[in-house]
Amino acid sequence: MIFDIIKKRRSVFPAQYNDKPIERETVEQLLEAANWAPTHRKTEPWRFKVLMGEKKIALGKFLSDKYQEIDPKPKQIKIRKLQENPARSGAVIAICMQRDPNESLPEWEELAATAMAVQNMWLCCTEMGLGCYWSSPGLIKYMDEFFDLNDGEKCLGFFYMGYYDEMMASSTRIPIEEKVEWL
């Protein structure tokens, strides 16, 4: 049932992934689920760039090199994490958004639609036993140096994915009654 999947959804980080590869067909299924997200005025602003194999390694190198270039005091642990997270992942999807060139709706609505597309992938990953995590490092503002982005397209982050072995802990939430006002 969808409510159970929603409650089981967790962030599973690249350090927790095992070496089991993710098949291209699995990624294609996730992208198809993303494509059915709600979209105002049917702009369908989500754009994805799938990195597998050597391209993941190149992403890690780019991120760690860029971090060292812009930070006057780079931390070794961060350099290592930027390099290793893509490599540890079965696949990485760059989450991008294509702004409607006519700006027929507010940008936040296109951001929301893109986030809903990612949530569709996240819920499907949960159902498939795949771990995933949306990372939005400050370095995403430099992704036009790594990807060929179209005019009006911007990178919002990375969707790291991988299989994992350990059980995820259950989570809690503040009761919804404390967040709702009935009028």
Summarised one tens digit per residue, pLDDT across range 14-73 is 999 999 999 999 999 999 999 999 999 999 999 999 999 999 999 999 999 999 999 999
Strand, coil or helix: 142: helix
**Domains of the chain, with CATH numbers?**
2-178 (3.40.109.10)
Q: Is 122 annotated as a binding residue?
A: no
Q: Is 41 annotated as a binding residue?
A: no
Q: Is 136 annotated as a binding residue?
A: yes
Strands (E), the chain: 46-51, 91-98, 130-135, 153-163
Q: What's 77's DSSP letter?
A: H
Q: Is 64 annotated as a binding residue?
A: no
